[in-house]
Amino acid sequence: MKLVSFDGGRIGAVAPQGLIDLSDLAEVAADFWPPVGMSRIIAGFDALRPEIEDRLRTGEGRPLDTVRLGPPIPWPNKVIAFPANYHAHIDEMRAVGRLVSRAPASGQGFFLKANSSLSGPADPILLPPIAGREIHHEGELGVVIGKGGRAIRADRWAEHVFGYTCLLDMVVRGKEERVMRKSFDSFCPTGPWIVTADEVPDPANIGLVLTVNGDPRQSASTRDLIVDIPSMVAMASSVMTLHPGDIIASGTPAGVAAVKAGDVVEIAIEHVGAMRLDVREAAIGDHQVWHVGKEVES
Ligand code: MN
């Protein structure tokens, strides 16, 4: 099943005959703020599933291209992200002196991205106008938590993963705090939908491809993850309670590189989906913090 957020706060599922509206099942109005409808659908999914499946069989669909898709989960409790989680990416970062920590994700843990950096498949990536800085794409598999919990054992991971989505972990390269460099608005595109876990036969062996203007940049399989999905769930939940709708960015493979305004970034993940994102320069986003200790041209 493919679940989407669309037209502001509406929620739907994608059927062969088109988009089926499920907004009423969230029990919060589509224009309710904060937009927690999808989180509620995920939390109540086991009970809602028969009704959703019935609507998918019998409902009248509308064409997907007549709506504006948003980030599937616009208001998660948290976005957890694993750095340096593919050996080949660690090697490329070390080669250019960008790897601060010596330890890969297995000995380094995870960080958080601001939830407000989430954007959807119809939204452009907005580059803050920071002179002299590269802003890189990191294509990643997004893992969506279903049933929450604390201290989840790795061998129980499948009971807690609701589904998967395409995710980009955009980042300003530099030595400032990682959360700041990765949390600009639009720096966490997700979508185009959440595909439920039952549609992904083996999440430990799915391909991810990222292109920029049609040129291949990143190509990998989740079989090369250092910290695999079960271990990510275990590690994250050893620290914090996971809640329905939490998103885990699973780390990026080799091939990260700068993007510039006018580029088109496309990410495609096997069994999950694909999305195409325009890159534009934002009018705002610069601050003196990016230039402290560096020569600034006037
Ligand atoms: Mn990343």
* Boundary residue ending a domain (11, 35, 67): 67
Choosing from 67, 90, 112, the residue where a domain stops is: 67
**Listed residues 38, 67, 96: the one ending a domain:** 67
Ligand 1 centroid to Cα of residue 45, in Å, is 29
214 within some domain: yes
Q: What's this model's pTM, rounded to 2 decimal places?
A: 0.95
Q: Please count the helices (runs of H) and the strands (runs of E) in the chain.
A: 6, 19
Amino acid at 140: E
Question: Is the same domain home to 17 and 161?
Answer: no
Report the separation in Å between the CA atom of 54 and the middle of ligand 1, taken as the mean of its atom positions. Answer: 38
Same domain, 58 and 92: no
Cβ neighbours, 10 Å, residue 159: 12
Q: How far apart are CA 38 and CA 11, in angstroms?
A: 7
pLDDT in tens, 154-200: 999 999 999 999 999 999 999 999 999 999 999 999 999 999 999 99
Separation of CA 21 and ligand 1 centre (Å): 33
Ligand 1 centre and the CA of 252: distance in Å? 5
Can you list the alpha helix ranges (DSSP code H) found in 28-76?
Answer: 37-43, 45-58
Instruction: Give start and end residues of each alpha helix (H) in 87-154.
Output: 87-95, 105-108
More confident residue, 99 or 188: 188
pLDDT bucket at 99, cuts 50 / 70 / 90: low
Q: What is the pLDDT of residues 205-255, one digit of tens each?
A: 999 999 999 999 999 999 999 999 999 999 999 999 999 999 999 999 889
CA of 51 to the centre of ligand 1 (A): 36
If DSSP states are collapsed to H, E and C, what string results for 204-245? HHCEEEEEECCEEEEEEEHHHECCCHHHHHHHHHHHCCECCC
Q: Is residue 17 part of a domain?
A: yes
Could you report how far apart the first and last alpha carbons of the chain are, in Å?
54
Q: Confirm whether 295 is domain-assigned.
A: no
Q: Which SS3 state, helix, strand or coil, does residue 298 take?
A: coil
CA distance 249 to 145: 11
Asked if 179 contacts 295 with a C-beta cutoff of 8 angstroms, the reply is no
CA of 80 to the centre of ligand 1 (A): 10
- Contact, 146 vs 298, CB < 8 A? no
How far, in Å, from the CA of 35 to the mean position of ligand 1?
A: 25
Report pLDDT for 100.
58
Is there a single domain that holds both residue 87 and residue 179?
yes
Instruction: Judge if 267 and 164 occupy the same domain.
Output: yes
CA dihedral sign of residues 241, 161, 141, 34: negative
Average pLDDT, integer, range 4-32: 95
**Number of domains observed in the structure of the chain:** 2
Tell me: do 127 and 169 sit in the same domain. Answer: yes
Yes or no: say if 11 and 44 are a contact pair by the CB < 8 Å rule: no
Are residues 83 and 225 located together in one domain of the fold?
A: yes
Same structural domain, 204 and 269: yes
127 and 20 assigned to the same domain: no
Rounded to the nearest 5 degrees, what angle is found at the Cα of 143, between the Cα atoms of 146 and 102? 130
Cα of 258 vs centre of ligand 1, distance in Å, is: 14
DSSP-derived secondary structure letter, 262: T
- 97: pLDDT strictly greater than 80: no
One domain for residues 53 and 96? no
Whether pLDDT at 88 is above 90: no
- Distance CA(292)–CA(273), nearest Å, equals 41
Residue 30 alpha carbon to ligand 1 centre in Å: 31
Identify whether 39 is part of a domain. yes
Is there a single domain that holds both residue 39 and residue 142? no
Structure tokens at 207: 């391909």
Asked if residue 269 belongs to a domain, the reply is yes
Q: What is the DSSP letter of 54?
A: H
For 52, the domain range is 2-67
Domain assignment present for 290: no
Mean pLDDT of the chain: 94
- How far apart CA 110 and CA 238 sit, in angstroms, is 12
Asked whether residue 133 falls in the same domain as residue 212, the answer is yes
Question: Is residue 161 located within the same domain as residue 185?
Answer: yes
Q: Flag whether 257 is in a domain.
A: yes
The dihedral formed by the CA atoms of 260, 261, 267 and 273, expressed in degrees to the nearest 10 = 170
* 145 falls within a domain: yes
CATH number for the domain spanning 260: value is: 3.90.850.10
